[in-house]
Amino acid sequence: MRTGDVRLTPTPHDELMEPDLRVGAVLRGALADALALVLPVACAGCDEPDVPLCPTCAGQLRPQPARRALTVTVWSGLPFHGVTARVVRALKEDGRTGLARELAPALRAAVDAAAGDRRDVVVVPVPTSRAAFRRRGYRVVELVARRAGLRTARLLLTARRAADQRGLGRAERRRNVAHTLRARAVEGLRVVVIDDVVTTGATLDEAVRALREGGADVIGAAAIAATPSRMNRL
Ligand SMILES: [Zn+2]
């Protein structure tokens, strides 16, 4: 393990972590693996045939940590455009779960930056909506976190459903997601909250609010990628 990496000490909350590969997801994964043997595959970044990700596109996924001040400092591993955006979409929308490994270094870099030199940090994912989980069979940010060797604790829960966020501006999104989350058993924990992609940051702000209301010390947030115009590159 490199120096500066977050070493996540086992917490009393370990028992709250459920195995997130359900039978359906496992079968779907097995099916995808089997199909990959018979169906043509193409680079998720540029459509080059016969490779899931070509070396040029893989090179585009090398972490470029950037930060932005929201309720807390939000770190992202990559700017959300070009190859990164295509790879994230292939993972999120096309079921190409093998790409989680390619995005893992970006999330790892963002979490390491958010945690700084602290060792007692609990990484808490923004919850995946039930509808998204049913559709995909996996939780995107948790899958990438696992590939990054990060232990996560599912301590945020959906309190009520928000309407679809697409097409909403930041203020509207903020109103839309207000009080949609609640935290459990977080009192006194030092937390870095993670999400897959940060756009307006409204969801992360709500996550921070819920965690703080539960008594957590939220020291930062981290994401695989973020809309670049909003981030300050280092
Ligand atoms: Zn490519």
Ligand 1 center to 132 CA (angstroms): 27
Report the alpha-carbon distance of residue 123 to residue 176 in Å, rounded: 25
Tokens representing 135?
């559709």
Ligand 1 center to 51 CA (angstroms): 8
Ligand 1 center to 139 CA (angstroms): 25
Extract the runs of DSSP E, i.e. beta strands, from the chain: 66-69, 73-79, 121-125, 156-158, 181-183, 190-198, 217-226, 232-233
Residues in the chain: 234
62-233 topology per CATH: Rossmann fold (3.40.50)
Ligand 1 center to 129 CA (angstroms): 30
Ligand 1 center to 70 CA (angstroms): 33
Q: State the pLDDT confidence band at 21, using cuts at 50, 70 and 90.
A: low
pLDDT of residue 174: 78
Report the alpha-carbon distance of residue 84 to residue 226 in Å, rounded: 10
Residue 226 has φ and ψ, to the nearest 5°, of -145, 150
User: Which pTM was predicted?
Assistant: 0.81
pLDDT of residue 18: 47
Q: Where is average pLDDT lowest: 55-59, 163-167, 211-215?
A: 163-167
List the chain domain ranges.
62-233
List pLDDT tens digits, range 37-88: 666 789 999 999 999 999 999 999 999 999 999 999 999 999 999 999 999 9
Mean pLDDT of the chain: 87
Ligand 1 center to 54 CA (angstroms): 4
Cβ burial of 190 (10 Å; 0-12, 13-18, 19+) is: middle
Per the DSSP assignment, residues forming a β-bridge with 125 are 194
Q: In this structure, which residues have their CB less than 5 angstroms from ion ligand 1? A: 43, 45-46, 48, 54, 57
Tokens representing 121?
């940090």
Ligand 1 center to 128 CA (angstroms): 28
Q: How far is CA 204 from CA 5, 177, 200, in A?
A: 22, 10, 9
Ligand 1 center to 103 CA (angstroms): 14
Burial 55-94 (b: 16+ CB within 10 A, else e): eebbebbebbbbbbebebebbbbbbbeebbbbbbebbbee
Ligand 1 center to 84 CA (angstroms): 11
